[in-house]
Structure 1
Amino acid sequence: MSDWLEGCLADSIASLDAGVSVNAEDRPHGAGEIGVLKTSAVSGGTFHPEQNKTVVERERHLVAEPVQGDSILVSRMNTPALVGESCYVRDPQPSLFLPDRLWQLKPKNRSIVDMRWLSFTLQSAACRRHVEIHATGTSGSMKNLPKSKLLALPVRYPAPEEQVRIAQILDTLDTAIHDTESIIAKLKAVKQGLLHDLLTRGIDANGELRLAQAEVPHLYKESPLGWIPKAWNASVVDIEFTVDSGITLGAHRAPRSHPRKYLRVANVHRARLVLDDIAELEASDSETAVRALEPGDLLVVEGHASTDEIGRCAIADESVRGMLFQNHLFRLRPKRLLPSYALLWMNSAFVRAYWRCEAATSSGLNTINRSKLRRLRVAVPTPEEQEMIAGREACLASRIKEETRVLGKLKTEKSGLMDDLLTGRVRVTPLLESTAPLMHQPTAPIVQQPAAQTRG
């Protein structure tokens, strides 16, 4: 990369211009209105124009710095993790303006610096390290990035043509990442709606989602849960599960002669167990025999500061067989319910609404009363239908998991390519002059890595 020019950001940027603070309503602007961006408009290297507030009429004349196209925005004041966050803005946003906490970078000469390439440079690991070193402020929750320090960011400048090619490659990966994120968001929305239908309407004998009660009232009956399919029963936790509390912790539980692994509230998330930190306690053989977990057991969180997290439920699998559980968890062992269906019900919107109404609050902690847990109502389809409901949800969950895996792979690939391409470790060369007439057609970039160079 000897042909790259060594310099700093100030060599290509004429100014960093911020907006002003104005009074605004906390809602996105509408037609005929103007908006001022929130700092959250710059997030994850992406511009989110919907993250804005409507400027009040009397202060519209005060706004400054409209969002321009082919520009870069940088968060100059934010939390330690987000200060210096940046994004590229492709198209102008004439009705959106910057607040005082965001900068807009304006180049000296667009013919010698590609702003899309520069935006990737500002998102690189090297830039992140530079920001972490130079961000100032005594507050642990808020940091400031001095303008002079950002302009002093070391930058290696390839030829303009190579900047464009690098940006094209990384742009392609960015598009794939955003498309995959969109797919995951849509799948999650579909799953949420499908779960509601599965747990209220179920699946008919033909394997199809049963029509709603309003359309086929003769297929439903009234119950304490509302309208449910005629083949279903309305029951309660006390009938459908064996309910047990876990082991009370204390100094006497320090692991000595009989250390046993056990699960805590931190290990039990909604519909999943997090097992990267498993603690141990002292427990006798008799206690272990009574409270050892078996695959199919459900673990329910007894208390949490957030009402959205109270009662979250996960299912035990083979990986936790024989482990114990602490007293702030309830173990629900299904008697006749399919465990996978029972898990869906215990995490359902109905159950979460029940806990929001029935949970007790003390010292900032929302807790589940054991007697109210036992009275919690449960919809009980036939065993065959339970299996179909759980299978339908599992199929969609598997698709989300696969798309999430693909997303992680794309992000890893992008991170590696950014490190290679933005440092010149891997070079992107233009096509040979003889292929110039074909340049208007989509063409894969040619990537060369000199054999003599090594990663370091």
Structure 2
Amino acid sequence: MSDTLEGKLCDFITVCNDKSKQVKSTEYLPIGTIPIIDQSSSKIAGYTDNIQHAHTNILPAIIFGDHTRQVKYIDFPFAAGADGTQLIKSNDKIHPKFLYYKVCQAASSIGNYGYDRHLKHLKDFPFSIPADKKIQSDIANILSTVDNLIEQTEAAIAKYQSIKQGMMHDLFTRGVDANGHLRPPREEAPELYKESELGWIPKEWEVKQVHEIGSVRLGRQRSPKHTTGKHTTPYLRVANVFDGWIDYSDILAMDFTPEEKLTYNVLPGDIFLNEGQSLELVGRSAIYEGEPNRYCFQNTLIRFRAFPENDHRFCWLVFKNWLDTELFMTIARQTTSVAHLGADRFAKFPFARPTREEQMRISLRLDTVESKIQNTRQTKDKLQVLKSGLMQDLLSGRVRVPTADPSTTQEPHHAP
């Protein structure tokens, strides 16, 4: 008897859709007794209180997004969202959790057909699996262990981010005094604060406009005449600048004259903000920490260069706080699907400025928790790489899970 089973995915599953139990997206509740699972990226998309919609007899179930190719393993009673939510159950040839990982692998391999239905392509995906369901279970357990570790790191990241958000609120309204202590709230020590156009701030602080804190410049516009030339230079654009980091894997180049290079150069400590983006991402920013004058930048970005009396790290943390609290959304202008921050509007935005010394004290406090976030993210990235390698090795059969040979298993020794 062969130790593997060959076939297509359709040979190992049953599709269990029941339109009478589907819940329309307009009927989702923010809270309720039965979670709704659909093809979105969120594990739980909403809730319903209608018990008639609940699936209880097909558990565990695998949810496959017919349009999105999202895959979810659900082992609790749930209701299914409407369009595109496919319910899959394993048959007796395959372990349910092992099937989940095989479907994840298949979903990433069948290709993206846009908003077309993907289940038909998934069902035709060729399968080769261990015939022994104990081996399937062992493989699923190994991958589940890594998944659990990834979930733990994600929870830790969320915890640190919540801590950081609370710290940012306190630090940007109360600051850190010369003794390194957070000032008491205004309600407890009103003599330490003054009223300003930004609300109550420590009396040592002053309100300036952004252009008084550092220089603000929009990048150079891209045009066909600049595609080639004598002074072709790599440049940063909106696709390179993410929330707190810069992606250098997709750098383009265009011609900048020597005079333009002086205007649009990039130096360590420069902050780049997304000028044109979707509304919720406009103002997303990162600090450039690379070598000086290697890059220029395009007009999809705004460059902020802090004046010497200000700490560039503190300035970036302020801009990050504005993004997270949606302040950038209040000054952005929407044009079709793209929102624009506007260099002039950004330059005139009010900025609560402590002394440089206090700026650095605030930055140090926030950097401590930010370091924990980054370290935990690196751990998560390593775990995801590990999981990807394990899926390639174990699900393909390239690496076999060791099993005990019954003929060599010794009977336990019993004392006389």
> What TM-score do you get using the length of structure 2 for normalisation?
0.83
Alignment of 1:23-422 (within 5 A): 23=24, 25-31=27-33, 34=34, 36-40=36-40, 43=41, 48=43, 50-54=44-48, 63=53, 66-68=55-57, 70-75=59-64, 77-79=66-68, 82=69, 85-90=70-75, 92-93=76-77, 96-97=79-80, 99=82, 101-109=84-92, 113-125=94-106, 128-129=108-109, 131-132=110-111, 140-146=114-120, 150=123, 153-302=126-275, 304-335=276-307, 336-349=309-322, 353-362=326-335, 365-422=338-395
Q: Which amino acid counterpart does residue 196 of structure 2 have in structure 1?
A: S
How far apart are the structure 1 equivalents of 2:362 and 2:272? 21
Judge conservation of contact 2:266–2:292 (CA < 8 Å) in 1.
yes
- Return closer, same or farther for 1:223/1:98 CA change in 2, 3 Å cut-off: closer
Give 1:440's aligned residue: none
How far apart are the structure 2 equivalents of 1:425 and 1:392? 48
Q: CA RMSD in A?
A: 3.4
- Return closer, same or farther for 1:152/1:323 CA change in 2, 3 Å cut-off: closer
Cα deviation for residue 153 of structure 1 reads 4.4
- Secondary structure at the aligned position of 2:291 is classed as helix
- Secondary structure at the aligned position of 1:332 is classed as strand
- Secondary structure at the aligned position of 1:75 is classed as strand
Cα deviation for residue 328 of structure 1 reads 4.4
Give 1:19's aligned residue: 18
> CA deviation digits over 1:352-381, x for unaligned, max 9?
755433334445543345543332211111
> CA deviation digits over 1:289-312, x for unaligned, max 9?
34422222233343x242223333
Q: Which amino acid counterpart does residue 45 of structure 2 have in structure 1?
A: Q
> CA deviation digits over 1:278-325, x for unaligned, max 9?
3333333333234422222233343x2422233333323233535322
Judge conservation of contact 1:19–1:100 (CA < 8 Å) in 2.
no
Alignment of 1:438-453 (within 5 A): none
> CA deviation digits over 1:35-93, x for unaligned, max 9?
653223xx5xxx93x323437x6xx75x4x714475232326223xx1xx433333x41
- Return closer, same or farther for 1:436/1:186 CA change in 2, 3 Å cut-off: farther
> CA deviation digits over 1:226-264, x for unaligned, max 9?
111122222222322233343344344343222233323
- Return closer, same or farther for 1:245/1:4 CA change in 2, 3 Å cut-off: closer
How far apart are the structure 1 equivalents of 2:11 and 2:217? 68
How far apart are the structure 2 equivalents of 1:105 and 1:301? 42
How far apart are the structure 1 equivalents of 2:338 and 2:94? 55
- Return closer, same or farther for 1:435/1:298 CA change in 2, 3 Å cut-off: farther
- Secondary structure at the aligned position of 1:154 is classed as strand
How far apart are the structure 2 equivalents of 1:405 and 1:124? 23
How far apart are the structure 2 equivalents of 1:294 and 1:183? 34
Give 1:453's aligned residue: none
5+ residue gaps, structure 1, are 438-456
Cα deviation for residue 171 of structure 1 reads 1.7
Q: Which amino acid counterpart does residue 89 of structure 1 have in structure 2?
A: I
How far apart are the structure 2 equivalents of 1:323 and 1:346? 22
Judge conservation of contact 1:7–1:157 (CA < 8 Å) in 2.
no
Q: Which amino acid counterpart does residue 181 of structure 1 have in structure 2?
A: E
Q: Which amino acid counterpart does residue 418 of structure 1 have in structure 2?
A: M
How far apart are the structure 2 equivalents of 1:364 and 1:76? 25
5+ residue gaps, structure 2, are none
- Indicate the percent of aligned positions where both proteins have the same amino acid: 31
- Return closer, same or farther for 1:205/1:407 CA change in 2, 3 Å cut-off: same
- Secondary structure at the aligned position of 2:73 is classed as strand
- Return closer, same or farther for 1:209/1:145 CA change in 2, 3 Å cut-off: same
Judge conservation of contact 1:306–1:366 (CA < 8 Å) in 2.
yes
Q: How many residues align?
A: 407
How far apart are the structure 2 equivalents of 1:369 and 1:317? 24
> What TM-score do you get using the length of structure 1 for normalisation?
0.77
